[in-house]
Amino acid sequence: MKILLSPAKTLDFKTKLPTDRSSEPLFTDIANEINRVLIKKTPKQLMELMHISDKLAELNWQRNQQWENEKELRQAIYAFKGEVYVGLDAYSIPENLLDFTQKTVRMLSGQYGVLKPFDLIKPYRLEMGTELIVGKTKNLYRFWNDKVTLAINNELFEGESIVNLASNEYYKVIKINLLNTKIITPVFKDYKNGEYKTISFFAKKARGLMTRFAIEHQIEEVEQLKTFTSDGYAFDEKISSKTEWVFTR
């Protein structure tokens, strides 16, 4: 089983690391290629391109300018800081489960394409939905879709399933028809005002919680995820389909 996650906009490069294990991103050279496009952008152009504040644009302009000489590296699973990663709580994953984590979790990335948990990354911000022209492609979806899809396909062994816990923005980069496997997308809904609704803040954290659940129980068969009950969620068979599993609370 492979679990797909989105990255996070917010980064943490300061918290003390629980391990020094690391790996090299598959698409490091391509990440550098993307930087050679970004480094030419002014702070104002970054602000308009990424729809961010002038303060964030200045920060990311500085990151782009010092990319080649950047010595500050951190494993992706510890670098990303957002609601998904609050639920995952990577810093507390026991040492004996790190190998399983590395084998199971994959993070999609606008800068790096796809990352293993312990791949070392540099500080960056580049969302997959950015209309960045790289080479002959007009956006990052077209730039990455074949590369990312092939990379994931090459890792799958026969019969291995994919659990899509990434956001729609990131999941869209994958050419689903080219993946030779079953894909399950868990959906998390809260009961509010007489109906079940997906509330983004809670759903993001639940994706991290489910990933943590899979790691702690070393789940390899996707059907076992139906036993997930963290934070009050439970599998609701009545409103689920074969490929979209709904967890409600």
43 alpha-carbon distance from chain centroid:
26
| The pLDDT value given to residue 159 | 86
Query: What pTM value is reported for the model?
Result: 0.95
Q: Where are the alpha helices (DSSP H) in 53-199?
A: 54-65, 76-79, 83-88, 98-104, 140-155, 168-171
Closest listed residue to residue 155, CA positions, set 136, 134, 174: 174
| The pLDDT value given to residue 73 | 96
Mean pLDDT of all residues belonging to the chain: 96
Q: Report the C-alpha gap between 28 and 89 in whole angstroms.
A: 26
Residue with tokens 């599998």: 235
| The pLDDT value given to residue 14 | 95
Name beta bridge partners: 185.
244
Q: Report the C-alpha gap between 47 and 86 in whole angstroms.
A: 27
Element (H, E) at 186: strand 183-192
Closest listed residue to residue 34, CA positions, set 12, 25, 52: 25
User: 217 and 241 in contact (C-beta within 8 Å)?
Assistant: no
pLDDT digits (tens, 9 = 90+) for 118-149: 999 999 999 999 999 999 999 999 999 999 99
| The pLDDT value given to residue 148 | 97
The residues of the chain scoring below 70 in pLDDT are none
C-alpha angle 93-97-103 in degrees, rounded to nearest 5: 115
